[in-house]
Chain A
Amino acid sequence: MGLFTIFIPEAYFRRGALLAGASVCLLVAFLLSQSAVAANPLPGLGRMPDASELAALTKHVFADGRGLPQGSGDTEQGREIYASLCAGCHGNEGQGGSAMELVGDRSLLGTEYPDRGIAVYWPYAPTLFEYIKRAMPPDKPYSLSDDELYSVIARLLELNKLIDSGQRVDAAVLSSMQMPNKDNFRSGYIETGRGH
């Protein structure tokens, strides 16, 4: 209660209103004790999203392919997209340039100068869709259609010798693909999320 008295202007007391000041303090103390025992301490200021908002939420593509959309693309369509949008930074054959390499020599992985291309290092194929859709090309993310994304991923997988030329890529292909480096990853944190 002492805390509250300091907020009452000194002039109030000079006018002989000591009694009224004390009453204010008692009232404040009473209100505080009421709120302290409120049944629900949660502010509850969030609102429920409506159906259209829920539908518009980010549909993340998980490592097992959950979230991949319908559609497909092939290596030939992907070759054109890659040449016009990707090669400038990642190199004509994905060897890297101003941006990271996308193709590399897997036999170098344990050596002093390892490559980190897609087949060398990326453990899951569906991650390519999640990332490229949202981040590439950097001057125009989200500009590729789902079919174009499947196409450019097909080209990347072809460059990495993970699929044959001409092959189509869709959700089923990406979900079932076993990436060569998958088993080389281990987790510093137990993957149940519950922790150590």
Chain B
Amino acid sequence: MKKSNTRFTRRRFIQKGVSGVAGVLAAGTMPGSASAGSETPASWLVPGNGFSNYGQPRDSRDSPIRWISADRSVPGAGVSWTPLHDLEGIITPNGLHFERHHNGVPDIDPDTWELTIYGQVDKPLVFDLNALHRYPMTSKIAFIECGGNSNSLWHSKPSQAPAGYVHGLVSCSEWSGVRLSLLLEEAGLKPDALWLVADGLDAAGVTVSIPIKKVMDDTLVALYQNGEPVRPENGFPARLLVPGWEGIVNVKWLHSFQLSDRPLMSRFDTVSYTDLLKGGQAERFTFEMGIKSLITSPSPGQTLSGPGFHELRGLAWTGNGLVARVEVSADGGKTWNEAALQEPVLDKALTRFRAPWHWDGNKAILKSRAYDSHGQVQPEREVLLANKGSNVYYHYNAIVSWSVNSDGSIHHIYT
């Protein structure tokens, strides 16, 4: 289990270490140690550690980690969450990008890997990895959010897990790769090529149908993630980036694209990732992720160290354009103040917001509410449930509320 407040415990740990080491040295009688006073930082007195080929976080005991939730009988089916509550800024470190796998991470040999385009095209084409790397490259900083992110909040009791372990099936990276429209232009789309059926190489038959308009607008075959080759758990050697659309269509470990006049209606098109509405109707192809935000600090599991100044920090995002405005409330939504948005605010990327808050030491209820550039507003939970019922399972984007007690502890509540 994580400590209640990583930052403060870490600071104490460092201070203790410094005074301990300095004390030992000061007591020493070796020649040359006489000038080391007890106030001298210990790191001034000894050479530091050496180089590394690939840097690692400082200490595995208190570095942010993903939490894993996997099926006992199918260990490769499950998720791991990005620890949003432990992170700052808008870019997710590659080792902390969320995972949603249906049957494990496939081991793919880049030397024999190929991507095939076939179906309703003038000429089918096969690309190997070297060929793809020679294509004109483009980058986009974009979030990917699992359609099932935050889904425990459809339930009637609010989860008390740290914020990232409820809402952290969203991450944001700079994805670099080749515009899929360019490859399709080379293959030549036939007039009835209206859907792209994208097939992954994992052992779960993950195949999804994506409308050709979105494919041609801004979909990438991503080869790089934050500057390095896409990690195996994020789709090495190539994955789709379908900006702003639910995670499942951002197919990992690409194998083939079949152009089709109709959607496949795969299990992932029709049974999973469909929204079961009240009354029993279901909506499929609800691709675009809605406007959403939450305060990541302070948040459940953390404790306010005392009254006075605290900064409310959080993330907002939308699958439809840009985050235009975020408001925060410390009184459960009676009054709202506009938060500052960290520049640059990017299309379909996580957006960091911050607002100063003076805590008077009494009970408080913290909320954030986001608006996007197309006029969508993040709904209150009761409004979302009134509109859609409580069995949707996917696409939960309601306003999140944290209750602050007078002892500084923080809990998740529904209001």
B108 proximal to A (CB < 8 A): no
Given known contacts A121-B271, A192-B194, A58 and B258 CB-to-CB distance under 8 angstroms: yes
- Chain B CB within 10 Å — which of A48, A141, A187, A189 has the most? A189
Most chain B beta-carbon neighbours within 10 Å: one of A42, A121, A122, A193? A193
Question: B132: nearest residue on chain A (CB-CB)?
Answer: A45
With A138-B203, A192-B194 as contacts: A45 and B283 at CB distance below 8 Å: no
Residue of B102, B207, B260, B280 contacting most chain A CB atoms (<10 Å): B280
Chain A nearest CB from B187 CB (Å) reads: 7
Per the 8 Å Cβ criterion, residues 256-289 of B in contact with A are 256, 258, 260, 262-267, 270-271, 274-276, 278-287
* B116 touches A (CB below 8 Å): yes
A98 near B72 with CB under 8 A, answer yes
In the complex, whether A133 has a CB less than 8 A from a CB of chain B is yes
A132 to B55, CA, bound (A): 42
Report the minimum CB–CB distance from B279 to chain A (whole Å): 5
- Pick the most buried of B74, B258, B265: most chain A CB atoms within 10 A of its CB: B265
Q: Answer yes or no: A4 CB below 8 A from chain B CBs.
A: no
Q: Mark contacts of B67-95 with chain A using CB atoms, 8 A cut-off: 1 yes-contact digit, 0 otherwise.
A: 00001111011000000000000000000
Take A43-B134, A58-B256, A141-B205 as given contacts and tell me if A49 and B126 are in contact as well, using a CB distance cutoff of 8 Å.
yes
B126 with A53: CB separation less than 8 A: yes
Indicate which residue in B71, B124, B136, B280 contacts A98 across the interface (CB closer than 8 Å).
B71
A110 to B74, CA, bound (A): 30
Question: Quick one: CB contact mask for B160-188 with A, threshold 8 Å, 1 for yes?
Answer: 00000000000000000000001101110
Write out the residue numbers on chain B whose beta carbons fall within 8 Å of the beta carbon of A189: 211, 285-287
Does any Cβ of B come within 8 Å of A13's Cβ? no
B406 on interface, CB distance cutoff 8 Å: no
Whether A141 touches B194, Cβ cut-off 8 Å, given contacts A43-B136, A58-B258, A191-B262, is: no
Which residues from chain B contact A57 at a C-beta distance below 8 Å? 116, 118, 256, 258
**A91-112: which have CB < 8 Å to B?**
98-99, 109-110, 112
Contact call B265/A58, Cβ cutoff below 8 A: no
The reply to whether the CB of A21 lies closer than 8 angstroms to some CB of chain B is no
Interface residues on B, range: 35 or more
Q: When the two chains form their complex, are residues B124 and A54 in contact, meaning their CB atoms are under 8 A apart?
A: yes
Which A residues lie within 8 Å of B131 (CB)?
43, 45-46
User: CB-CB contacts of A183-195 with B at 8 A, as 1s and 0s?
Assistant: 0111111111111
Q: Encode B192-213 as 1/0 by CB contact (under 8 A) with A.
A: 0011010100011101000111
In the complex the two chains form, is A185's CB within 8 Å of B274's CB? yes
If A49-B124, A138-B77, A194-B212 touch, whether A188 touches B265 (CB-CB below 8 Å) is: no
Instruction: Note all chain A residues with C-beta closer than 8 A to B271.
Output: 116, 121-122, 127
- With a CB–CB cut-off of 8 A, which chain B residues contact A116? 271, 276
- CB within 8 Å for A187 and B103 given contacts A131-B205, A134-B205: no
In the complex, A16 has a CB within 8 A of chain B:
no
B357 contacts the other chain (Cβ, under 8 Å)? no
Whether B73 and A62, one on each chain, are in contact in the complex, defined by CB atoms closer than 8 angstroms, is: no
Q: Is the CB of B203 within 8 A of A135?
A: yes
- Flag A62-73 by CB within 8 Å of B: 1 or 0 each: 110000000000
Instruction: Please pick, from B102, B197, B274, B282, the residue contacting A60 in the complex, using a CB distance under 8 A.
Output: B197
Q: Smallest CB–CB gap between A170 and chain B, Å?
A: 20
Give the nearest-CB partner of A59 in chain B.
Answer: B258
Q: Does B3 contact A (CB under 8 A)?
A: no
User: A-facing mask of B382-397, CB < 8 A → 1, else 0?
Assistant: 0000000011000000
How far is A4 from B185 in the complex, measured between Cα atoms in Å? Answer: 32
Interface residues of A in 28-50 (CB under 8 A from B): 42-49
Residues from chain A with Cβ under 8 Å of B211 in the complex? 189-190, 193-195
Q: B285 and A62: CB pair below 8 A?
A: no
Instruction: Please tell me if A124 contacts chain B, counting CB pairs below 8 Å.
Output: yes
Does the CB pair B390–A187 fall under 8 Å? no
Nearest-Cβ distance from residue A66 to partner chain B, whole angstroms: 9
Residue of B nearest to A123 (CB): B270
- The yes or no answer to A76 lying at the interface (CB within 8 A) is no
A193 with B212: in contact, given A57-B116, A60-B207 (CB under 8 Å)?
Answer: yes
Interface centre among B187, B255, B270, B279 (most CB of A within 10 A): B270
Q: Which residues of B contact A186 (CB under 8 A)?
A: 281-284
Q: A46-B131, A141-B103 are in contact. Are A184 and B186 (CB under 8 A)?
A: no
Tell whether, in the assembled complex, residue B282 and residue A54 are in contact, meaning their CB atoms are under 8 Å apart. no
Q: Bound state CA distance, A44 and B117, in angstroms?
A: 13
With contacts A43-B134, A63-B264, A194-B212 known, is A48 near B124, CB below 8 A?
A: yes
- Please list 29 pairs of residues, one from A and one from B, whose beta carbons are closer than 8 Å in the complex, sorted by A's number: A43-B135, A45-B127, A45-B132, A46-B127, A47-B125, A48-B123, A48-B125, A49-B126, A57-B258, A58-B207, A60-B197, A60-B264, A62-B260, A63-B270, A88-B73, A98-B71, A98-B72, A114-B391, A124-B270, A130-B207, A135-B102, A135-B203, A138-B77, A141-B203, A188-B285, A189-B286, A190-B211, A191-B285, A193-B213
Chain B contacts to A: CB under 8 angstroms: 71-74, 76-77, 102-103, 116-118, 123-127, 131-132, 134-136, 182-183, 185-187, 194-195, 197, 199, 203-205, 207, 211-214, 255-256, 258, 260, 262-267, 270-271, 274-276, 278-287, 390-391
Assuming A124-B270, A184-B282, A186-B283, what are 17 further A-B pairs, CB within 8 angstroms?
Answer: A42-B182, A45-B134, A60-B197, A60-B207, A62-B260, A109-B276, A110-B279, A127-B270, A127-B271, A134-B207, A141-B203, A187-B283, A188-B286, A189-B211, A193-B194, A194-B211, A194-B213
